Amino acid sequence: MRTIDDLDVSGKRVFVRADLNVPLDGDRISDDGRIRAALPTIRALSERGARVIVAAHLGRPKGEPDTRYSLRPVAARLGELLGTDVAFATDTAGESARATSEALTDGRVALLENVRFEPGETSKDDAERGELADRFAQLADLYVGDAFGAVHRKHASVYDLPARLPNAVGGLVLTEIEVLKKLTSHPQRPYAVVLGGSKVSDKLGVIDNLLGTADRLLIGGGMVFTFLKAKGYEIGSSLLEADQIDTVKGYLERAEREGVEIVLPVDVIAAEKFATEAAHGPADVEDIPADRMGLDIGPRSRVLFAEKLADTRTVFWNGPMGVFEMEPYAGGTRALAQSLIDSDAFTVVGGGDSAAAVRSLGFDEAAFGHISTGGGASLEYLEGKDLPGIDALA
């Protein structure tokens, strides 16, 4: 796999597919972590005299322009972080994109409007994606794939465009793959995986694969209530995926056969409703009130999880332990993050909400071994799936 060091980029237009899918509050960026993660590759190309054309998506627009998902605020922040003006194309692959590309000079950077404003970007039709990839290819001489958060998608700017231009892998994607290989190829043991988030159905594939790899699975977040229900507990009005109960029972039985320890909370923070101001308090998992819902792991569970992580050598964490955006239900995620920092393990935070939680709760990112930019891509890699955006980089 070629890297950007293998490309002669001076004076060339280099199309960089980055992951700049940041959370926006109106036009204010509430977490610029993904922009900062993209800087090293963009800066390295710019300093070598490339004319850098950055493309990215934001949110889930319906294949047409939508001002709520414009990348204009991202262009401004990217410029601030680079310390230089970043030109902004007001369309994705049209007249503005072509004019912006042609106007670039050596070392300068431009950002295209949201690639998902084009229906061809996410189309399942090869010809439709290919037509957009052809237009993208007219904007540049070289391609660099550096959007790890999108490499599990068979999209025009991720999968089809690399076939049309000399290409290379960006530094961010290269680092992500190297880290994930440490989790799949002879990880130092004990190897623990912490899974949270709302739905167990989002994690079925990775759980199935990890039962043959990990020594210990710690389960929290909304998904834990399907596990608790599968064990016969009443869960009040907590989140439940009833159609997954039998699958979860199968995982519990398989884990016992294969000697993989599954650690579930022993108590939760149960609230009258999904709201910050709701009456709430700890409840043992055997005694969750019928009219309350679990929104975080409880204090005894936080101690238990810390104990189960204390002797680990490798930990992968994906998904918060509770509704960390609401302060009454942030304690479990905060305690878990601190437990990872306190351990001697190589710790990998698996992107998405977990990475956002680390930053929003005030932790130093440098205290963790690696913070991924792609939650979904990380999970699919750990499932053993092929990643189209990686396969496309010949």
Q: Which residues are catalytic?
A: 34, 199, 352, 376
Neighbours of 303 (CB within 10 A): 13
Please tell me the distance from the alpha carbon of residue 170 to that of residue 168, in angstroms, as a whole number.
Answer: 6
DSSP strands (E only) in 18-163: 24-25, 28-29, 51-55, 86-88, 109-111, 142-145
Residue 17 · residue 156 · CB < 8 Å: no
Q: How many CA atoms lie within 13 A of 360 on its CB side?
A: 19
Please tell me the distance from the alpha carbon of residue 301 to that of residue 34, in angstroms, as a whole number.
Answer: 31
The continuous run of DSSP H or E covering 269 comes out as strand 267-271
What phi and psi, each to the nearest 5 degrees, are found at residue 363? -85, 150
Phi-psi region of 32 (alpha: psi -120 to 50; beta: other; left: phi over 0): alpha
